[in-house]
Structure 1
Amino acid sequence: MVEKDGCYSCLAALRVLRVSLVDELEGQIDSLLEILVSQEVFTRDDREEVLCQLGPRARVRNVLDILACKGEEAAEIFLSIRSHHQQEAQKPSEEGHTDQPQFVEYNKVKQKHKDFLTRRSESMLFYNTRHGEKILFSEHYVNLLLADGHQCLERKRHEVLTFGQKRLSMQQKSAVHRKIAPAELFSSANGNRPVKKVLVSGVAGIGKTILVQKMLFDFGGNRDHLGFDFIIHMTFRDLNLIDKPTNFRKLVLRKNRHLSKELDAILANDKKLLIILDGFDEFRHYRSCDVDAFVTEPDEDAEVVEVVGSLMQGELLPNASVMLTSRPTAINHIPVGCIDRFVLITGFSLAEVQDFFLRYFQDSAIADCMFAVVSANELMLTLCYIPAFCYIVCCILKESKDLCGESPKTMTDIYLQYLVALLRSHTQARAETFRQEQRAGAVQKQSDIVLKLGRLAFQKLMEHQTLFYSSDQDVAELEGCSLVSTFLDKTVAQEPGCTEEVYSFAHLTVQEFFAAVYCAVTDDPLPDVLPHTSSRAEGSNNGHLDLFHRFLSGILSERNANLLSRQVGLSCNKDKVDIYRQRIIRELTMLCENRAQILNHLHCLFEQQDPSLALAVQPNTLHVNVSDETLSQMDYNAIKYFLNLTKGNISELDLTGTGVSCEALRDMQPLLLRCNRLW
């Protein structure tokens, strides 16, 4: 209690203890309320007002609010009742200590669960893993860099495009962002408050699901130090299949039948329970998790979003620890205040990229040679910090050394080589299967399948969807085609009485690339190169289609259009190529004259790698506005590419709010000397 003017203030004590009282009393609030009414501290109307609150924690808060209005005497009686409750609660705990779930059966189930998790996590599913191929997790896992902190909730640009610069910034500020190990995720950095709810965020392909697998693998083999008895793992793509009321107990037992006999004991001992919810951004209800209708018991039926929301907000199993993983796109929909720790996966360091190459190629000489090739290409090296992209680069290097006479210069170059490399690999690896299908007359041309994949990618990208279900008509059209497994990952979700297959592209950027291929080779009209600046400022785009537009520009370039036609059998419409070139010249000219943001247009121009296009941009006054974007090296390359091809003075170059460094300014010095105005 707090001393004031020589006496102790119980009201002040309630204010000081408010947060801890909510945690302490949520399980006792109903009985506590009856005592307050019986001792005439509360009226029946007070009780009704409290009972109208949704969830025990909200009821405790309401009780404290009412007490604050009733004065010092009411607060003193309440604290006396609370003290008596504490003493009573300790008695059965002390007398029944041996009744805690630490007996033989509980420990048997604990070990059985660890064995189960070991079997489930011992193999690593690489993209394009061939059927029956088993890759041991322990031999191929490469450490990920984890750091305290999270990405800004306001997204102006595509998450992958900003990643390289943020990754380098993280390296430079390692003293600010403390590097942490997976086993430390629930350890408080300062020890002031317990860490119960952890959010792990990172861009697509950065390794969120692999981190989860690492935790399950270590827990199963007794290699972790998290201190939990049980870890329950659920994925949101699996939870998406539930369309009727359910409860937490059913959710656990869907994939963990072996826990049924001891589940009551496990849930009763929830301080020793960790629940991992993987892929929050994939949850079809992620915008609705800030629920106000809570469930408080594991057996209480409700919509799946209410069960998840109650778990996240601590109304259900309040003592359990919860770990959420999510891409940055969805984290601003997580209920405010329910996260104790924000953790950012920043991918690989340079040493980890080298380690990945060694594990992938399984030969140190080849790995060193391939890493040297990547190190000489700034674009490829920057993107290799993303594990999924690192795999794509290794795949290209392994399968297609002879595809191009020069190192790829643009994102489109890299992804087109990836497409051709996997098509070639598929044809070679499945030559006999292909001949059998051919004899049976069941062969679809590769170009037709790529086109169908492109249509699926394009339609779902426009709908902001990255998961596709077997019941979807566009997915059903791809059934029975062995090539599909080369580009789509498949998981099988089982429900009582039905099995649903869930598909996604190996990486978000692969979906964007296929969508751009479809858009380039079909007769559909071209989308705008970029939505109007006004709609962008209102948050309708947030960079969602930036990379799609860059891929589209790169595919419509002469050199890549020829490669696509020659290697894949898909031809870009000549009229569409001409229309696109005229449009990008016209829009860049207009944007320069109007001082509008032009960064993504500059990237689209860069993807074309055609100097005549830049020379054709001749505004009356050349205003280059790239302000209010944290610029990466790729951004500087696109800006320099354009300005080096223009002639004469630059009326204005606006670098306001870009975080431009002294090094970058020195690199751009010849261009800066041409500027009449520099911001």
Structure 2
Amino acid sequence: MVENGGCKSCLTALGVLRVSLVDQLEGRIDSLLDILVSREVFTRDDREEVLCRLGPRARVRTVLDILTCKGEEAAKIFLSISSHQQEAQTHSQEGDADQPRSVEYNKVKQKHRDVLARRSEGMLFYNTRHGEKILFSEHYVNLLLADGHQGLENKRHEVLTFGQKRLSLQQKSTVRRKIAPAKLFSSANGKRPVKKVLVSGVAGIGKTILVQKMLFDFGGDRDHLGFDFIVHMTFRDLNLIDKPTNLRELVLRKNRHLAKELDNILANDDKLLIILDGFDEFKHYRSCDVDAFVTEPDEDADVVEVFGSLMQGELLPNASVMLTSRPAAINHIPVGCVDRFVLIAGFSVTEVQDFFLRYFQDGAIAERMFAVVSANELMLTLCYIPAFCYIVCCILKESKDLCGEGPKTMTDIYVQYLVAMLRSHTQARAETFRREQGAGTVQALSDIVLKLGRLAFQKLMEHQTLFYGSDRDVAALEGCSLVSTFLDKTVAQEPGCTEEVYSFAHLTVQEFFAAVYCAVTDHPLPDALQHSAGLGEGSSNGHLDLFNRFLSGILSERNANLLSRQVGLSCHEDKVDDYRQRIIRELTTLCESGAHILNHLHCLFEQQDPSLALAVQPKTLQVNVSDEILSQMDYNAIKYFLNLTKGMISELDLTGTGVSGDALRGMQPLLLRCQRLWLGENNLDMNTALVIADMLQVSESITHLGLGWSDIGDDELLAISSAIRVKKKLQELWMEGNRVTYKGLLSLSDLTPNPLKKVVAIWNDVGDTDPESFCTQESITVSFTDDDMWEEWGKWVFKRCEVSSNEKLVTVLHKVCNISVHCLEAQWAKTFYKELSQLIKHRIECCTEDDMSKKLNKFDQILNY
């Protein structure tokens, strides 16, 4: 608190301390308000205005707003009152600390620990045989936690974003930033208290396991979190509540043993942690930034309002809250209330080895199995995700065929997983059935897989991952002993009724079964193979990417044969032929048009049939994989296709892919075949610049190079310009939006206009007027002068904006709405901005997210100013 006698203005102090004052005063704002009225700093009308606000934090903000209007003397008195009040509360808390908790309170606290210990002693996440319990204490493997969070834009399936970026996170920075679960609520700098923690990570990375770890440690008195009580809820359960409720009811739903002491527990909310698991599964996740609050635990409201009030500190303001979510949903969380963002990065190599040892329970076997996985890049990459590590271990344990040629694709792994699980769970029954009924067992297996596939397919198309026992497709599975192998069941209890809720053990398992159903039945192939269809409006969002890859892999000859032989399911030959022709046709079209192609390349990779790639013979080979953070699996798919093609690569667009120097070096033989290579919107350091320089020194093909907005400066440009002099093949160099100065441009002066016919250096550290020492070259562009050139540039940017998601569109708009005012009179600029404005208006009409609508509106106003 600021001393009253200080020379600093008290009004200024109110502005500086505003955020901390809201935190400090929210628990005593009503009493503070009474004092302000009694001291005649506030009128009764002022008091009424404050009390009209919903929630204590909103009331504190209103008090501060009113004080700002009342002047210096009122601010001085307010600071004095609040300072004395703070001191009194501190003395009171010190006295309370000496008073032991009631005997009953401590009894309930111990009982709650015992309950959590019992609930968390068995692994909650992994499928097991019926009646089998996997002890958490024997199978938990440490997860890698790091401060920070993934980008809010995830256009593709989350699992597929793993690869080089995640490995870099582990290998470079997390040694310094690694967090122990017990330290999640400890402030890194000791300044701001950590009350709200958001833990994000892709599907299967271990979010639920982390929650169980915290409950397990708390139940066994092993935690160091400092809480008296932890209350655990899941959004799957909250989805079942469709009538007004309150926090007290939510806590007691699964914790009736807390009833007698719940008032004391909630009163001591600074000793309470509420864990909410699976925000991405919340059916109201788009509507959580509420402006109608509840402030009391007994106050009824819709579930989303109770949750929003809890997160924004209007309800139980001193309680700690931990929220888990997949990255794709976290942009719907009111991020202003989150004190700490934590990313789960899964396993490192050491943890994968530890997992194998715990799974196989035999050091020699675990070491041999890990060696098999280490020899297979795809399998090892997947094992960094705990859920996939479990699936891979299941295959290794059950399959006798794996130690030959290992799986090469995602589909290979999942087909072997299906076969291994069917064999494991039905072996005894199958042997009996074979003796009695011959082929009847295989038929029974195929029927069950088809029923699961139908459920998976129907719900996937409806964007559903939770299914209810009353659902017709779920009811069709009743009595199937294999259902528990692939479906998790939750029993949700409501007053007067019990509801069973099902989900596939993992979202990717649902996508796989859906693909199996589509491949082996008469159901027509979906029209959703085109990744770019509807992307701009966000309707695609990569929803069916992995489904399409699985479908392609299942329709391949090797997996179709395996399914037929082991499961009794056959793909229709006509469907296989149609699909193959479709891939060839669509790949050819995409290569000729330069449209986004990555998911098609993955589908081709899943087929593992070189003749398909050889049949793709476009007039020009343009490969556009821009605006995707590429994983190692992505690079594998790109290299697989390009290695099978012959001749010149007309264009390779790696814009905004997070490409590194190592990744470029791994693709160098292919890059040397490119004519136009676009590497903009990547952070290109000196190491990467040297790789680019190496290519330019030997390439006979590269004539156009794009390095826009890649953070290069004079040193990087100098390395590149030296390389250009060797072959003198490069004709155009685009490097807008960087840190290049006149010194850097001087290194290009002797290369223009031959071979460099065009150098674009707008938005760098140069102005429209050259210094006298710089020899002006017509081919070096530092401003908007050539209308014809910029008209083509505008068309290229607009085409990119049309197929971008809203998040990416905003990123592009930040860059292209920075054109100098004097060029706005040019006809190309008027047309360009008019089209952009129309596109933005269309996006706003289709947008369902308030925050994104505000961002788009801002740019619409700029363009129509």
The 1:175–1:330 alpha-carbon spacing in structure 2 relative to 1, beyond 3 Å, is closer
Where does 1:284-299 land on structure 2 (aligned, <5 Å)? 284-299=283-298
Tell me the residue number matched to 2:22: 22
Give the structure 1 partner of residue 52 of structure 2: 52
More displaced 10-residue stretch of structure 1: 214-223 or 12-21: 12-21
Which deviates further from its counterpart, 521-530 or 139-148? 521-530
TM-superposed CA distance for 1:495, in Å, is: 2.4
Question: Relative to structure 1, is the Cα distance of residues 4 and 120 closer, same or farther in structure 2, using a 3 angstrom cutoff?
Answer: closer
Q: TM-score, normalised by structure 2?
A: 0.75
Q: Percent identity between the aligned chains?
A: 86
Q: In 1, are the aligned partners of 2:531 and 2:542 still within 8 Å (CA)?
A: no
Query: 1:87, CA displacement in angstroms?
Result: 5.5
Q: Aligned-pair distance for 1:657?
A: 2.7
Does the CA contact (< 8 Å) of 1:151 and 1:344 recur in 2? yes
Counterpart of 1:67, as a letter, is L
1:296-328 deviation digits (Å, cap 9, x = unpaired): 111111112111111111111111111011111
Q: Secondary structure at the match of 2:276?
A: strand
Task: Check the 8 A contact 1:505/1:511 in 2, yes or no.
Answer: yes
Q: Take 2:636 and 2:596, find their aligned partners in 1: how far apart are those partners? A: 17
- Counterpart position of 1:585: 584
How far did 1:92 drift? 5.5
2:641 is the alignment partner of 1:642: yes
Cα offsets for 1:305-361 (capped at 9, x unmatched): 111111111111111111011111211111131110011111111011111111111
Please list, as runs of the form range in 1=range in 2, the aligned pairs for 1:518-597 lying within 5 A after superposition. 518-528=517-527, 530-531=529-530, 533=532, 535-597=534-596
Single out whichever of 506-515 and 162-171 deviates more from structure 2. 162-171
How far is 1:660 from its partner?
A: 2.7
Q: Structure 2 vs 1, CA of residues 637 and 101 (structure 1 numbering), >3 Å: closer, same or farther?
A: same
2:650 maps to: 651
- Where 1:445 maps in the other structure, the secondary structure is helix
**Would you say the 8 A contact 1:122–1:138 is kept in 2?**
yes
Matches of 2:599 and 2:427, distance apart in 1: 38
Q: Which amino acid aligns with 2:567?
A: V
Q: Please give the alpha-carbon distance, in whole angstroms, between the structure 2 residues aligned to 1:555 and 1:449.
A: 18
- SS of 2:58's equivalent in the other structure is helix
Letter in 1 for 2:19: V
Q: CA, structure 1 residues 69+363, in 2 after alignment: closer, same or farther (shift >3 Å)? A: same
Partner of 1:267: 266
Count of aligned residue pairs for this structure pair: 677
Deviates more, 1:429-438 or 1:635-644: 429-438
Report if aligned partners of 1:458, 1:516 keep a CA contact under 8 Å in 2: yes
Please report how far the alpha carbon of residue 433 of structure 1 lies from its aligned counterpart in structure 2 after TM superposition.
Answer: 9.3
Give the match for residue 456 of structure 1: 455
Letter of the aligned partner of 2:209 in structure 1?
I
Please name the residue that 2:739 is paired with.
none
**SS of structure 1 residue aligned to 2:290:** coil
Q: Is the 8 A contact 1:170 1:177 kept in 2?
A: no
Structure 2 contact 442–568 (Cα < 8 Å) conserved? no
Alignment-derived partner of residue 623 in structure 1: 622
- Match for residue 385 of structure 1? 384
Q: 1:451 to 1:159 in 2, by over 3 A?
A: same
Residue in 2 that maps onto 1:70: 70
Give the Å deviation of 1:39: 4.2
- Secondary structure of the 1:325 match is strand
Residue number in structure 2 paired with 1:312: 311
Most deviating of 153-162 and 400-409? 400-409
Change (3 A) 1:2 1:144: closer
Note closer, same or farther for the CA distance 1:171–1:113 as it changes in structure 2 (3 Å cut).
same
Amino acid at match of 2:653: D
**Within 5 Å, which residues of 2 pair with 1:1-16?**
7-16=7-16
State the AA in 1 paired with 2:307.
V
2:129 — aligned with what? Answer: 130
**Mapped contact 1:148–1:177 kept (Cα < 8 A):** no
Partner of 2:326: 327
TM-score (norm 1): 0.94
Structure 1 pair 569–297 and aligned structure 2 pair: CA distance change class (3 A): same
Return the alpha-carbon distance in structure 2 between the equivalents of residues 554 and 409 of structure 1: 10
Q: Which amino acid aligns with 1:60?
A: V
- Three-state SS of the structure 2 residue aligned to 1:537 is coil
Q: For each residue in 1:119-170, what CA deviation from the matched residue of structure 2 results, as whole angstroms up to 9, or x when unmatched? A: 1111114533122212211111111111111110011221100112332121
User: Which amino acid is 1:393 matched to?
Assistant: V
The reply to whether residue 200 of structure 1 matches residue 208 of structure 2 is no
Equivalent residue number for residue 41 of structure 2: 41
| CA deviation profile, 1:18-53 (whole Å, cap 9, x unmatched) | 222212222332343344344443344433332232
Q: Distance in 2 between matches of 1:231 and 1:433?
A: 49
The CA distance in 2 between the partners of 1:382 and 1:6, in whole Å, is: 60
Residues of 2 paired with 1:475 and 1:433: CA distance? 28
What is the identity, as a one-letter code, of the residue corresponding to 2:67? Answer: L
| CA drift at 1:444 | 7.8
Q: Is the 8 A contact 2:120 2:215 kept in 1?
A: yes
Residues 334-343 or 70-79, more deviating: 70-79
Calculate the aligned-residue CA RMSD, in Å.
2.6
* Cα displacement (A) at 1:454: 1.2
What is the DSSP-based 3-state SS (H/G/I as helix, E as strand, rest coil) of the residue aligned with 1:337?
helix
Q: What is the alpha-carbon distance in structure 1 between the residues aligned to residue 444 and residue 133 of structure 2? A: 30
Higher RCO structure (Cα 8 Å, ≥6 apart): 1
What is the rounded CA distance, in whole Å, between the counterparts of 1:444 and 1:642 in structure 2? 38
Q: Distance in 1 between matches of 2:374 and 2:403?
A: 18
User: In the superposition, relative to structure 1, how do residues 648 and 551 fare at CA in structure 2: closer, same or farther (>3 Å)?
Assistant: same
Which residue of the partner structure matches residue 178 of structure 2? 179
Q: 1:405 offset after TM fit, Å?
A: 5.0
Distance in 2 (CA, whole Å) between partners of 1:375 and 1:249 is 50
Following TM superposition, by how much is the alpha carbon of 1:597 offset from its aligned partner in structure 2, in angstroms? 1.6
Alpha-carbon distance, 1:90 to partner: 5.6
- Equivalent pair of 1:149/1:177 in contact (CA under 8 Å): no
For 2:258 and 2:139, the matched residues in 1 are separated by 30
In the other structure, the counterpart of 1:603 is 602
Matches of 1:251 and 1:461 in 2, distance apart?
Answer: 30
Q: After the TM superposition, which of the residue ranges 466-475 and 324-333 deviates more from structure 2?
A: 466-475
Which consecutive residues of structure 2, in runs of 5 or more, have no partner in the other structure? 679-865
Whether the aligned pair in 2 keeps the contact of 1:516 and 1:555 (CA below 8 Å) is: yes
Query: Residues 436 and 272 (structure 1 numbering): CA distance in 2 closer, same or farther, change over 3 Å?
Result: farther
Tell me, what secondary structure is at the counterpart of 1:188? coil
| CA displacement 1:539-579 (0-9 Å, x = unmatched) | 32222221111101111112212222222122222222222
Q: Which residue of 1 aligns with 2:190?
A: 191
Q: In structure 2, what residue type is equivalent to 1:260?
A: A
Structure 2 partner of 1:119 = 118
Q: Which whole-Å CA distance do the structure 1 matches of 2:433 and 2:328 have between them? A: 40
Deviation of 1:669 (Å):
2.7
Using the TM superposition, name which of 617-626 and 2-11 deviates more: 2-11
Q: How has the CA–CA distance of structure 1 residues 263 and 432 changed in structure 2, closer, same or farther, with 3 Å as cutoff?
A: farther
Shift of residue 278 of structure 1? 0.9
d(CA) in 1 for partners of 2:91, 2:553:
72
Between the aligned partners of 2:318 and 2:237, the Cα distance in structure 1 is: 25
Give me the whole-angstrom Cα distance separating, in 1, the residues matched to 2:6 and 2:237: 60
Q: Distance in 2 between matches of 1:177 and 1:649?
A: 45
Does 2:512 match 1:513?
Answer: yes
Alpha-carbon distance between aligned partners in 2 of 1:376 and 1:443, rounded to the nearest angstrom: 33
Contact 1:631 1:658 in 2 (8 A): yes
Which one-letter code corresponds to 1:559 in the other structure?
A: R
Who is 2:427 aligned against? 428
Whole-Å separation in 2 of the counterparts to 1:93 and 1:434: 71
Q: Aligned-pair distance for 1:175?
A: 5.2
* Counterpart for residue 495 of structure 1: 494
Conserved in 2, the CA contact under 8 Å of 1:114 and 1:221?
Answer: yes
- CA deviation after TM superposition for structure 1 residue 619, in Å: 0.6
2: distance between equivalents of 1:549 and 1:64?
56
Tell me if structure 1 keeps the 8 A contact 2:532–2:540. Answer: no
Does the C-alpha gap of structure 1 residues 184 and 665 become closer, same or farther in structure 2, counting only changes over 3 Å? same
Deviates more, 1:8-17 or 1:187-196: 8-17
